Structure 1
Amino acid sequence: MKTITSRDNPLYKDLKHLAGSSQARRKAGQTLLDGVHLCQSYLALRGAPLHCIVSEGALANPEVADIVMQCEAPHARAHVSAMPDALYNALSQVEHGVGLMFLIATPVLDAPGVLTASAVLLDNLQDPGNVGSILRSAAAAGITQVYCSGGTAFCWSPKVLRAAMGAHFVVDIHENVDLAELVKAAAIPVLATSGYATDRLYDVDLARPVAWLLGHEGQGVAHDLLALATHQVVIPHLGQIESLNVAACAAVCFFEQLRQIQSK
């Protein structure tokens, strides 16, 4: 384990840049996982990180110590660096965190193929919390393919990572995708959610692979994409609320599909 004691340390400068800049994360093809849960999930599902960074105060935490030990194992081949709590806290975006983060490479995936398995298509969703929640619900419902338009929040940003709670490591996330071309070539039905649709979600056959098309928090799915969808569906609801939050809408859709599949 190496120790970083200065803000002028080259690695520390790189970490600081990554922590505070989405552009830097995209350019480097790297991101930071902050917290025990994300780091444990990554170790279990993807293996060792590029670098494990720990605050000196966190080394007394048994969970942190176990993760550090796994990263230091000869077969892991991960670098481990410790630093004073003050330096670590200047990096972390988690208030009152435990003092552990991983530096990882963001996955590079092949160009999207034809849609044949259930998938999620995100059209210009801009709130990181919503995107992360949708990833988490998709993973929980067994959907492993996610396609994001260029206007959608960067999936490997800290806020999306925290909201997704490890879902990133069990789903394949394609970013900057031309959703129109993907929908046109799809070999499965594409269902767009819309408050103006007449088909109720619960009346549609979902016991088969489908692609869920979800749109911007305020404007919904873009009109050109909406026109390409196989079906437009609405979730019926009572009361004076105009519509559901997009992440809540996604969860209802995914688990109605799962219910129908398990009921067959």
Structure 2
Amino acid sequence: MKSITSRDNPLYKRLKALAGSTAQQRRSGHALLEGLHLADAYLQAAGQPETCVVTEGVLRHDEAREIVGRIDPARVYTLPDALFGQLSGVVHGVGMVLLVEKPTLVLPERMDQTCMILDGVQDAGNVGSILRSAAAAGIQHVFCVPGTVYAWSSKVLRAGMGAHFLLSIYEDVETADLTSRLNPNVLVTITDSHGAKAIYDADLSGPLAWVMGNEGAGVSRFWRDNAALRVTIPQPGGMESLNVAAAAAVCIFEQCRQQRA
């Protein structure tokens, strides 16, 4: 285990640059995982991080010591609290950050199972929540079309609570390229508040490509024109619409219910 004591340290400068810029994270192909939960989830699913940085104080906690004990000591660095604060995006967070390489994935040639398509979803919290629901429901593939927030940003990672490491997440996927890879039996499915079939009356037992649209504009014209199934979520309370993350959870778990039945 090594110590970093100066803000002029090259590794510290690199981490600070990444922490301050999502664009820099995207260009570098790396992500920062902050906190014990994300660190534990990554170690269980993906193995060793590139680097682990912890505050001197956090090592006094049993859980933190247990997590650090699973990491190659040559990859672990300690930081004074004052320096760590400039890397952290969490108020009163726990002093641990893992630097990891983002997975490089190749689009599957054919998609014959239920998947999730994020069509311009821009709120990081919504994307993270959708990923968490998808992972919980056993969905393996999530496709982000251009205009969707960067799925490996620190805010999305925190909201996803480890879901990233259970999913294959493809970013900047062009819509035409994606539709050409969907098997005909995978029905493109959108939510539509006007004239669509109630989700509880629709047959969701087969594989579906769920399309979740932008928070304001909804699903784009391309997916509206290519949708094979349109469903609506009944709202007896009279609200006009649901948050996109809530709608996604309702949809995919109703599909789970029907498949289980």
Give the residue type in structure 2 aligned to 1:129: G
Tell me the equivalent position of 2:35.
35
Tell me the equivalent position of 2:59.
59
* Shift, 1:183, TM fit: 2.5
Deviations 1:215-249 (A, max 9, x none): 00011100121110111111111233110000000
Deviations 1:49-72 (A, max 9, x none): 000110011010111111111103
How far apart in 1 are the matches of 2:195 and 2:19? Answer: 41
How far apart in 2 are the matches of 1:197 and 1:143? Answer: 28
Contact 2:48/2:72 (<8 A) preserved: no
Give the residue type in structure 2 aligned to 1:46: A
Moved more, 150-159 or 198-207: 198-207
Give the residue type in structure 2 aligned to 1:248: A
Deviations 1:64-115 (A, max 9, x none): 1111111036xxxx61100101111111101111101100000100034322
Give the residue type in structure 1 aligned to 2:88: S
Tell me the equivalent position of 2:44.
44
Tell me the equivalent position of 1:94.
90
Deviations 1:19-70 (A, max 9, x none): 1111110111001000000000000111110001100110101111111111
Deviations 1:171-220 (A, max 9, x none): 00000001233225421111011222421111221112111011000111
Contact 1:183/1:229 (<8 A) preserved: no
Alignment RMSD: 1.2
Tell me the equivalent position of 1:158.
154
Tell me the equivalent position of 2:226.
228
Tell me the equivalent position of 2:142.
146
How far apart in 2 are the matches of 1:35 and 1:68? Answer: 12
How far apart in 2 are the matches of 1:63 and 1:20? Answer: 27
**Unaligned regions of 5+ residues in structure 2, if any?**
none
Q: Does 1:80 align with 2:76?
A: yes
The structure 2 residue matched to 1:204, chosen from 202, 205, 224, is: 202
Moved more, 138-147 or 220-229: 220-229
Give the residue type in structure 2 aligned to 1:166: G
How far apart in 1 are the matches of 2:31 and 2:19? Answer: 8
Deviations 1:133-190 (A, max 9, x none): 0000000011010000110000000110000100000000000001233225421111
How far apart in 2 are the matches of 1:185 and 1:12? Answer: 42
Tell me the equivalent position of 2:15.
15
Contact 2:122/2:214 (<8 A) preserved: yes
Tell me the equivalent position of 1:118.
114
DSSP 3-state at the match of 2:77: strand
Tell me the equivalent position of 2:251.
253
Contact 1:30/1:103 (<8 A) preserved: yes
Give the residue type in structure 2 aligned to 1:100: M
How far apart in 1 are the matches of 2:39 and 2:197? Answer: 42
Residues 55, 254 of structure 1: CA spacing in aligned structure 2 closer, same or farther, 3 A cutoff?
Answer: same
Poorly superposed stretches of 4+, deviation over 4 Å: none
The structure 1 residue matched to 2:214, chosen from 198, 201, 216, is: 216
How far apart in 2 are the matches of 1:113 and 1:130? Answer: 28
Residues 197, 88 of structure 1: CA spacing in aligned structure 2 closer, same or farther, 3 A cutoff?
Answer: farther
How far apart in 2 are the matches of 1:32 and 1:113? Answer: 30
How far apart in 1 are the matches of 2:241 and 2:176? Answer: 25
How far apart in 2 are the matches of 1:175 and 1:162? Answer: 18
Identity rate of aligned residues, in percent?
Answer: 50
Contact 1:114/1:186 (<8 A) preserved: yes
